[in-house]
Amino acid sequence: MIIRLPKLVLMTLFSALLSTCSETEQAADPTSLAAEDSGLSTSEVALVSSNPFFSKSQLYLNYPPFDQIENAHFLPAFLRGMAEQSAEIEAIARQGEPATFVNTIIAMELSGQLLNRTDSVFSAMSSAHTNDEIRALEQQLAPQLAAHDDSIMLNRDLFARISRLYEQREALALDAQSKRLLGEYYSDFVRAGAALSVDQQQRMKELNGQIATLQTRYSQQILSEMNELAILVDSREELTGLDEALVAAAEAEADERGLQGKFLIPLLNTSGQPALASLQNRAVRETMHRTSLSRGNRGGEFDNRELLVDILRLRAERAQLLGFENHAHYILEDRTAQTVAAVNERLAELAPPAVANARREAADLQQMIYDEGADFELAAWDWDFYTEKVRAARYEFDASQLRPYFELNNVLQRGVFFAAEKLYGISFKERTDLPLYQEDVRVFEVFDAVGTTLALFIADYYARPSKRGGAWNTSYILQSNLMNTQAIMANHLNITEPIGNEATLLSFDEVNTLFHEFGHALHVMFSNVEYPYFSGTRVPRDFVEYPSQVNEMWATWPEVLANYAIHYQTGQPMPDELLDKVLSSQKFNQGFATTEYLSASILDQALHQLAPDKVPDADQLMQFESEVLETAGVAMPEIPPRYRSTYFNHIMGGYSAGYYSYIWSEVLDADSVEWFKENGGLRRQNGDHFRRTLLSRGASEDAMVLFRNFRGRDADIAPLLERRGLN
């Protein structure tokens, strides 16, 4: 018989555990802790005595009280949060009662709630709206948080309890999700070093602290240099071809930095820059491209080569300490790919057709250059510009024709939301009563088909100097039946904000990204699991992109596209002939897109498949990068990797040895798109099936089991090859 205890009973048991701690083990008073450990003044102590993190938010669904949160609140909340969880963990580990699933595993799931509240907001702000104080605090906290995690994961008494439960798991009468949770906890502790000797664990703690500090510094330097190296242009004439709204934004950016009469174009974190597609001045394009590629490897204050080399060596040593050949072997054991060989084989399989396709595209671009009477050789800074010319000639339209039909609010509400409404029966209502951390951020309440509240969705779409590059989803609160919580999540993009009351017009890539990121949000809001451990996007890294990539299909689904592709001035729909051209050009430039992505993925693997003594020195790093790409057969001077090693921010977080995940997930995505097409597309029953079998399950079952439950079989790679023109 499987016994499931109600939450009230669980919380009572957990409180009883904590009461067994001695007074010295209990978390200290927040104000005394802040004063003692952080050197705060009396006035600062008074400020944090009413710290909003010290209790659950009283706002709707425990929405973060952004209007009350100040920088001074973070450190005391982190300190108290770590102290509270340490006391909770000690109570679990040292209790006299024999280990049970409730008093050990459930108790751990319930621990650290203050720390989680604080960290979710702090992590979000450090990416989306940082400042000097937050950046300094990141550096200070990185090793402290790493040490705190180690104090839990390397707690020998705690691991002994988990091990005993794991050994008895077949006799514990646990339901499937609880049994899986026990197995995941055991695996996590082993992979963290819980089974190592005392001396080995001490070295593990040192490695984790050093890595955390260096990773934080590496990521911060990317943002700092990206802001420093914004492209300064002296005259409007040099920006000929650039959309007028973007020119105005560049002028305003220069004015804000005291450079009146000039124009400043911020860089994005990718190697390629959007402006390269339209700037007619070849010299400006070259400057922009070379500047982009120089980030982190040009010397000076923000050079990342030494940092990256140190991180790679430390990661490799840590992997070997745990019994793995290198960091990639360690990471991939816990992914759906499972082995380095499987990832290498997939990347090697895709590289030759991608490069062959890219070379055909390069020949077309070179011919266009000659046809226009020029005699220079195609360079990387010419690719996007002449791609648009070839597109215009081949399909009789260029990308700039699309922008007037892609106004941001239309795309969001009549595109992204519309598709979700049709497919899943959900609806949206904007909330203007909840506080914001930035004035142009928006909040929407999401309702399920029966009218009950499902989640809160935060839309943060505009670029700003305080925001890191790229696009991502953030979860503030995860759904959990155990915790009785509903999801609050945010999508972040980096769209250039227009000046004044000008409309925000998107590129087609930005439209696609809007749909992609909302796919992550759907994965979070549809979660219906017992334990927060399994909630939402807490799935293997090479599976997490799959649902979001599936959601991209609706961006070009005729019914959806026709609903949102409305001219922002005339209100007229996109003409059918232009719509047809958009759809017919989907495979265009896929050689470039696939090659730049594969180059970055191959580079990521190469960096992390090194033993500690094989990592190149800092002054050899860029040469190593070149040799890797050459050996893999993807070295094309016209197509640099999407990210070079010195500004590859993905590999500082969850994508170390994992950037391959996008193409790995796309195999599942492309095959799933075929399923939707075979079953009638944008139909409610299709959405319900996808939600029930996969989106709602989080990580509560094996990822590939979930895929098979949805698709009815294993994935077929053929749809991916067809999509990218690689067949």
Q: Are 468 and 649 in contact (CB under 8 A)?
A: yes
- Buried/exposed 340-364: b ≥16 CB within 10 Å, e otherwise: beebbebbeebbebbbebbeebbeb
Q: Which residues pair with 407 in a beta bridge?
A: 505
The tokens for 297 are 């490897």
H/E segment holding residue 38:
helix 30-38
Is residue 517 annotated as a catalytic residue, yes or no? yes
Angstrom distance (rounded) from CA 258 to CA 256: 5
H/E segment holding residue 73:
helix 71-94
With vertex at residue 678, the alpha carbon angle to CA 673 and CA 680, rounded to the nearest 5 degrees, is 95
Angstrom distance (rounded) from CA 555 to CA 579: 12
Angstrom distance (rounded) from CA 618 to CA 338: 30
Q: Are 326 and 320 in contact (CB under 8 A)?
A: yes
Q: Which residues pair with 459 in a beta bridge?
A: 442, 491
Maximum C-alpha span of the chain: 85
Q: What are phi and psi of 208, to 5 degrees?
A: -60, -40
Torsion, CA 393, CA 395, CA 400, CA 404, rounded to 10: 150
User: Which residues are CB-contacts of 244 (< 8 A; sequence separation ≥ 6)?
Assistant: none
Angstrom distance (rounded) from CA 228 to CA 230: 6
For the chain, how big is the Rg over CA atoms in Å? Answer: 26
Catalytic member of 109, 225, 361, 517: 517
C-alpha 307 chain-centroid distance? 22
Angstrom distance (rounded) from CA 157 to CA 161: 7
Residue appearing with tokens 């319930």: 110
User: Which residues are CB-contacts of 392 (< 8 A; sequence separation ≥ 6)?
Assistant: 398
Q: What are phi and psi of 312, to 5 degrees?
A: -60, -40
User: Would you say the C-alpha torsion 454, 707, 657, 721 has a positive or negative sign?
Assistant: negative
Angstrom distance (rounded) from CA 644 to CA 431: 40
- Ramachandran sector of residue 473 (left: φ over 0; alpha: ψ -120 to 50; beta: rest): beta
Q: How many residues does the chain have?
A: 727
Residue appearing with tokens 């920088």: 71
What are the C-alpha distances in Å from 136 to residues 51, 465, 632? 20, 17, 40
Could you list the active site residues? 517
